[in-house]
């Protein structure tokens, strides 16, 4: 059994970060799923809270490894 961890650039702040490729929050830009880092997701959720909107749910392991068997 192995594990998978991806490194990528946050669509919002452009910082390099690591994430679970299956569960990381992402937004579609020109039809392509782009990952968003935990700091930026927290900022998005703070904004949503201030404006009376529901938070986006962030899986507890979105910014960690996943079991290789979870990969599509």
pLDDT tens by residue, 25-72 = 999 999 999 999 999 999 999 999 999 999 999 999 999 998 888 888
- Structurally, how many domains does the chain consist of? 1
The answer to whether residue 1 scores a pLDDT higher than 80 is no
Tell me how far apart the alpha carbons of residues 14 and 66 are, in angstroms, rounded to a whole number: 23
Tell me how far apart the alpha carbons of residues 26 and 12 are, in angstroms, rounded to a whole number: 10
The answer to whether residue 19 scores a pLDDT higher than 90 is yes
**What's the domain range around 21?**
3-70
* Entry pTM: 0.86
Contact 34, 25 (CB under 8 A): no
Angle at 44 between CA 10 and CA 62, to 5 degrees: 55
């Amino acid at each position: 059994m192995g594990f998978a961890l991806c490194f990528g650039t946050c669509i919002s702040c452009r910082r390099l970060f690591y994430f679970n490729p299956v569960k990381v929050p992402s937004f579609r830009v020109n039809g392509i799923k782009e990952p968003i880092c935990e700091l930026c997701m927290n900022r998005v959720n703070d904004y949503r809270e201030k404006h009376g909107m529901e938070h986006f749910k962030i899986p507890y392991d979105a910014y960690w490894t996943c079991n290789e068997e979870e990969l599509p």
